[in-house]
Structure 1
Amino acid sequence: YFDAFLIGLTATPGTQTFGFFNQNLVMEYGHEQAVADRVNVDFDVFRIRTEVSEKGGAIPAGFITEFRDRETLQQRFEKIDEDLEYQAGQLDRKVVAPDQIRTVVRTLRDSMPTMFPDRAVCDDGRLAHIPKTLIFAKTDSHADDIVKIVREEFGLSNQGAVKITYKSGDSGAKPEQLLQSFRTSYPTRIAVTVDMIATGTDVKPIECVVFMRMVRSRNYFEQMKGRGVRVMNTEDLQAVTPDAQAKERFVLVDAVGVTETDLHDTVPLERKHGVGFDRLLNLIGLGDTSEDVVSSAASRLARLDKRITKTDRQEVETIAGMSLTEIARHVVDALDPDRHYRAAQEATGADDPSPEQIATAREQMVREAVKPLAGNSALREKLVEIRRSYEQIIDTATQDRVISGEFSRDATDRAKAVVESFRQFIEDHRDDINALDVLYRQPYQARLTYADIRELANVIGRPPRAWTPDVLWRAYEVLDASKVRGSGPRVNTDLVSLVRYALGEADELVAYPVLVEERFQAWLAQQNRGGNKFSAEQLAYLHLIKDHLAASLSAERRDLQELPFSAEGGLGKANQLFGASLDVLLAELTRDLAA
């Protein structure tokens, strides 16, 4: 016989995990490796700053101000006698500033074409199809405020923007149904949550994760961020987002500075986010001493103790015989495994008490710690009454203004690293990759073929680079969008434009299909000036040849027997339209358009 080996697997290791295993890390497989292996997708950070979210705000004296109950949402209005100032940290907890939420949401809406430059854009400059977006809110009431404003600013229906929290069922729709709709159907584009989708929930189509709440725990942040890293095949993605070409990354929108904060490892007391405070106290009153229930109750009590008034605190201490802080501390101490072990040693006199003895010691400690709550129904009722009495202030006076909305410095640095690596790759491999050899030499000594471009795409697509035309294109856009032209999906022939721009042979990075289109229009104008006018039928066929050149770099007779030419009459139709000049025409178009 031998002791079994204990192996731990985790996606979010914390200091407690490493300590438990005595720092014995056998294998590490990080996000970067997962991206290179195409197990995860990478992400860019887009930072939104506003004046109110950075500095807070103030409601002027004399302004008729709305006060709202946190639980019932009942409203009342009152004229305040003096200026009411609040800090950024009080937003959406003590004070709600609708214009601050609206400013962030509006900036998110208007910035989406920048975040997703390859997507179809409507006449009003907005995306035709909003990428599946998940917004993290601070509280359930904060989520309600966000959903309301998202629907207004994005012009979405109740189905288009939904709140998915443990309280969603109060409005009729079950959270599980809303989640399934968000995961698999087109209509639901934006979901707002607090904790329900933060961990353990797989929604692969998500391409935008928005933080409108601060997170201090590194583990929790990684889990929340992980909602966007899921890979998804293109066919399934396009079923819910039609103009998405592939899920190669997601955008993390930071509206609170979470990506700029030093995160730490924590073990939260709160374990029952979906259970109401009154129910937790009732469970304890019924004798429930499970760790999750007791720990969550301690967490709620500690938070309540920080917020109650002096009068409420005195009433609670009178009823309980001790402060909320003392009750919470006693409960937390009673949940400490080290204290259980020492208590079992003292009770049994054994140096190494058995698991049963430790469990008995734990049960006794917890029951003693919760006795002030379990045996005092008046205290439980008073605590619930106080918890429900607090109100939020609704600031409709402050008008928020965007400070900035741009890719973070980290995103810029990553883009710069990709561009520099790409240039170095061209320099290092110009003699052994035919496409680079042809493009590097001016004037060209040989014609570039699509097979050459496909070889280049295959080479750069392998780990550790895992580059695609879209990844490279996006890096140049992040660095200087003014020098990049051409929206729509990226194609392999865009590598021609990317290499030439990297070599300094072009002042602008122009999508290869756009470049071919511009050359085609110039060629048509030259033909018209020379008296060679084409019929409408000939022009339609010439456009097919032009599109083929943009995708394949060359056009020959045999190509005209394939789609899309075969659907328009194929080679026979081309002979009928252009006669004996067909071969000359194909050679000329290949030379002038695809050079």
Structure 2
Amino acid sequence: MEQKPTVSFEKLLQAVAFGNTEDDVLTSLAGRLAIMEHHLKPEDDQKIRPLSGGYSLKDLAHNIIQSLDPDNPVEAASRRLSENNKQQDSAATVWQKEYYDRIIRNPEELYNIEHYIERHHEYVTAASSLSDDKRRDATVTLLRAQIIQHAVKPLYDPELRALLTEIKKKNEVVIDIISADKVIEAGFSPEALERAKGMVQSFEQFIQAHKDEITALQVLYSKPYKQRLTFEAVKELANAIEKPPYLWNESQLWNAYAALEKSKVKGASGRRILTDLVSLVRFAMHQDNELIPFPERVSANFSAWVEAASRRLGKNDKRQDATSTGFTPEQMNWLEMIRDHIAANLSIEPDDFEYAPFAQEGGLGKVHQLFGDKLNAIIEELNETLAT
């Protein structure tokens, strides 16, 4: 997804505002917007929507990705107009063969695209001397540019760009109260250890005191879980610990535990994500003996699931290009993307396949094609298994 890792978020926004619509630039920007959405607070979302025309960060990222999709409504409208010229009495289709591969999202969208073509008489006249294929390609190129412009139009607003930059910087601020201390031999200074101990004790007291009030803690304290833990519930917990007087985040808490129990803490030098808070709570509750990054836990559960699933697959279900897992390489690629999505979001739903990174690989239509009528069962199994 990230095509411009060395370019700052602010520079990407500025480039788009100045008219840069290169695929690499837009893909990188959409990816960063999608990541920002995971840490977005409700009050920040309320500030964004009035400036973006009602769009959320997820909507903005999705619109950009969809505008880059080669099977966007431009192709459908061009095909429809071409067919109408040949068969005036025939209704052209605006759907792909598979019922789940939707090209035109709504009648209004198709109407706008078709009428855009009809209004540009000068373009049609200039293109009339070209062959049918070249004329169609030229029309698609023009309309694709228009759809991209529509997707990025909210970002032309300098107030929105400034707000997004401010929110991103705010969410990236990590106050490391431990690693800044001078290291004595291979450990931490006595002052740092004392602060780490105080933070850990306060955190464990907090989760004990609020286990009946905060949804995420209610779920994690119930064994077996009475309901599935959601990303929204974890975000609620994160918002609670970030407020005064606590002012904690995942990185601070992880470093505090690493300072006190180094042998039991993995990934101390890595970058934390919101779902790592689940691992922190489980460790603080003494449900887990080790503090392991949440994506690593999900990955281990995924490997076990693949092994079990491959044993269940009968000989009739295996294809000639299937790997030792019983899944084809392409299926495994999609399963791994689903694994990574669950690691960052705790679960996956069918609608998620319409967003990055799935949309770039064919979206909901492609995953249906690969897994057929087993898709819903696979999604349910992965949601139940990976995040436990």
TM-score by length of 1: 0.34
Structure 2 residue 281 is matched with structure 1 residue 488: no
Aligned mates of 1:441, 1:473 — CA distance in 2: 23
The structure 2 residue matched to 1:249, chosen from 173, 176, 198, is 176
Separation in 2, partners of 1:593, 1:254: 39
Indicate the SS of the match to 1:584: helix
Structure 1 residues 440-494: Cα deviation after superposition (integer angstroms, max 9, x where no partner):
1111111111110000000100111011011111110000111012352111111
Q: How does 1:251-330 map to 2 (within 5 A)?
A: 251-252=179-180, 254=182
Distance in 1 of aligned mates of 2:169 and 2:384: 39
Give 1:497's aligned residue. Answer: 279
* Cα gap change, 1:424 to 1:235, in 2 (>3 Å): closer
Structure 1 gaps of 5+ residues are 1-231, 238-243, 256-402
User: Alignment partner for residue 352 of structure 2, among 559, 563, 566?
Assistant: 559
- 1:508 paired with 2:290, answer yes
Measured after TM superposition, the shift of residue 234 of structure 1 is 9.2
The CA deviation string for residues 215-243 of structure 1, in whole angstroms up to 9 with x for no partner, is: xxxxxxxxxxxxxxxxx979779xxxxxx
The whole-number CA distance in structure 2 between the counterparts of 1:567 and 1:535 is 19
Gaps of 5+ in 2: 1-164, 315-325
| Aligned position for 1:585 | 378
| Match of residue 312 from structure 2 | 530
1:452 aligns with 2:233: yes
- Kindly report which structure 2 residues correspond to 1:129-168, keeping only aligned pairs within 5 A, or say none: none
**Residue correspondences, number:** 211
What amino acid is aligned across from residue 523 of structure 1 in structure 2?
A: W
Corresponding residue for 2:300?
518
Per-residue CA deviations over 1:29-88 (Å, capped at 9, x if unaligned) read xxxxxxxxxxxxxxxxxxxxxxxxxxxxxxxxxxxxxxxxxxxxxxxxxxxxxxxxxxxx
Tell me by how many angstroms 1:567 deviates: 1.0
Per the alignment, in what secondary structure is the counterpart of residue 185 of structure 2? strand
Structure 2: which amino acid aligns with 1:527? A
CA distance in 2, matches of 1:253, 1:494: 24
Matched, 1:573 2:355: no
Work out the CA distance in 2 between the residues paired with 1:460 and 1:468: 7
Q: 1:462 aligns with which of 231, 243, 250?
A: 243
Report what 1:317 is aligned to: none
Aligned to 1:541: 334
Describe the SS at the equivalent of 1:485: coil
- Structure 2 Cα separation of the partners of residues 465 and 589 of structure 1: 34
What per-residue deviation string (whole Å, max 9, x for no partner) do you get for residues 405-459 of structure 1?
4211111111111111011101111111111111111111111111100000001
Q: Could you tell me which residue of structure 2 aligns to residue 109 of structure 1?
A: none
Contact conserved, 2:299 with 2:339, CA < 8 A, in 1? Answer: yes
Q: Distance in 2 between matches of 1:235 and 1:449?
A: 23
Amino acid aligned to 1:443: P
Q: Which structure carries more strand by proportion?
A: 1
Residues 174 and 252 in structure 2, CA contact (< 8 A), matched pair in contact too: no
Check conservation: 1:419, 1:475, Cα contact below 8 A. yes
> What residue in structure 2 maps to residue 410 of structure 1?
191
* Secondary structure of 2:227 counterpart: coil
Kept in 1: contact 2:196–2:256 (CA 8 A)? yes
User: Who is 1:423 aligned against?
Assistant: 204
1:381-423, CA deviations, whole angstroms, 9 ceiling, x for partnerless residues?
A: xxxxxxxxxxxxxxxxxxxxxx824211111111111111011
Aligned to 2:13: none
Q: Is the 8 A contact 1:430 1:437 kept in 2?
A: yes
Indicate how the Cα distance of structure 1 residues 488 and 245 shifts in structure 2: closer, same or farther if over 3 A, else same: farther
Tell me the alpha carbon deviations over residues 89-127 of structure 1, each in whole angstroms, 9 at most, x when there is no partner: xxxxxxxxxxxxxxxxxxxxxxxxxxxxxxxxxxxxxxx
Change beyond 3 A, Cα 1:437–1:252:
closer
Corresponding letter in the other structure for 2:343: A
Which of the pair has more CA radius of gyration?
1
In structure 2, what is the Cα distance between the partners aligned to 1:515 and 1:413?
Answer: 29
Could you tell me which amino acid in structure 2 is paired with residue 580 of structure 1? D
Question: Which residue of the partner structure matches residue 324 of structure 1?
Answer: none
Counterpart of 2:240 in 1: which secondary structure? helix
Question: Aligned in 2, Cα 1:542/1:252: closer, same or farther, shift over 3 Å?
Answer: closer
Q: For the residues of structure 1 that align with 2:174 and 2:211, how far apart are their CA atoms?
A: 30
Distance of 1:449 and 1:580 partners within structure 2: 25
Cα distance in 2 between the residues matched to 1:447 and 1:234: 29
Residues 477-518 of structure 1 deviation map (CA, whole Å, 9 limit, x = unaligned) = 000111012352111111111111111111101110110011
CA separation of 1:555/1:459 partners in 2, compared to 1, >3 Å: closer, same or farther?
A: same
Q: Partner letter of residue 312 of structure 2? A: G
Rounded Cα–Cα distance in structure 2 between residues aligned with 1:252 and 1:587:
44
Alpha-carbon offset, residue 245 of structure 1: 5.7
> Which residue identity is paired with 2:336?
H
Equivalent pair of 1:245/1:489 in contact (CA under 8 Å):
no
Q: What does residue 387 of structure 2 align with?
A: 594
Conserved? CA contact 1:501–1:507, under 8 Å: yes
Alignment of 1:332-351 (within 5 A): none
Deviation at 1:246, TM superposition (A): 4.1
Aligned to 1:133: none
- Amino acid aligned to 1:456: L
Query: Percent identity between the aligned chains?
Result: 44
Q: Provide, for residues 177-206 of structure 1, a one-character-per-residue CA deviation record: whole Å limited to 9, x for no partner.
A: xxxxxxxxxxxxxxxxxxxxxxxxxxxxxx
Moved over 6 A (4+): 232-237
Compared CA separation, residues 562 and 426, structure 1 to 2 (3 A): same
Q: Cα deviation per residue 1:348-405 (whole Å; 9 max; x = unaligned)?
A: xxxxxxxxxxxxxxxxxxxxxxxxxxxxxxxxxxxxxxxxxxxxxxxxxxxxxxx824
CA distance 1:481–1:557, shift in 2 (3 Å): same
Structure 2 counterpart SS, 1:404: coil
